[in-house]
Amino acid sequence: MALFTMKLENLEQLFLQELRDLYDAENQITEALPKMIEAASHPELKNALQEHLDITRDQIQRLDQIFTILGEDASGQTCKGMKGVIKEGDEIISQDGDNATVDAGIISAAQRVEHYEMAGYGTVRTYAELLGQQQIAQLLQQTLDEEKEADETLTEIARSVNIEAKAA
């Protein structure tokens, strides 16, 4: 996750900074997912990506709620890590090729996104707990659970898609 160039004085500052990073990451994902949905050919993959787009919008609203609880503006700093992960995904979907193979690449890219998010949300959830922000920790845990579920769904879809890609 990208960090501000300001000096970090305490865990609260780091917590807020990491939340802003995630906020930007989620917004980047809402821009990237429609391209992945369009590029995907496997119906289950398309549906899973569309469902996660809807969930991602809910996650942004949850982050808005967290910023309100904290009395902070819901703003995101540029998440360079997510920008790079999404760029790699864009490279996969821009390539022509066998549909199943492209779908396997989309799944790979989407799972990288999920793993990045799981790392970020797990971290800020722990910070929230340490800072005595139990309501925020619960909201972050809800998002973390959704990210894990999305990853598991992608893994399940990959079982058939990867076999199809291997046969190509």
All structural domains of the chain with their residue ranges: 11-167
Cα–Cα dist 11/146, whole Å:
25
Q: Which CATH number fits domain 11-167: 1.10.3720.10, 3.90.1580.10, 1.20.1260.10, 2.60.120.10?
A: 1.20.1260.10
Query: What pLDDT is stored for residue 3 in this prediction?
Result: 46
Res. 5: pLDDT tops 70: no
Confidence of residue 2 (pLDDT cuts 50, 70, 90): very low
- Contact indicator for 49, 40 with CB cutoff of 8 Å: yes
What tens digit of pLDDT does each residue of 10-34 get?
999 999 999 999 999 999 999 999 9
DSSP result, 113-159: HHHHHHHHHHHHHHHHHHTT-HHHHHHHHHHHHHHHHHHHHHHHHHH
Crossing angle for the helix pair 99-130 and 80-93, nearest 10 degrees? Answer: 170
Judged against a pLDDT cut of 70, whether residue 43 lies above it is answered with yes
Pick from 59-63, 74-78, 124-128, 132-136: least confident? 74-78
The first and second tokens of residue 136, run together, are 């925020």
Tens digits of residue pLDDT in 102-113 = 999 999 999 999
What does the pLDDT average to over 77-93? 94
> Model's pTM, two decimal places?
0.92
The whole-number pLDDT of residue 76 equals 65
How does residue 6 score in pLDDT terms, banded at 50, 70 and 90? Answer: low
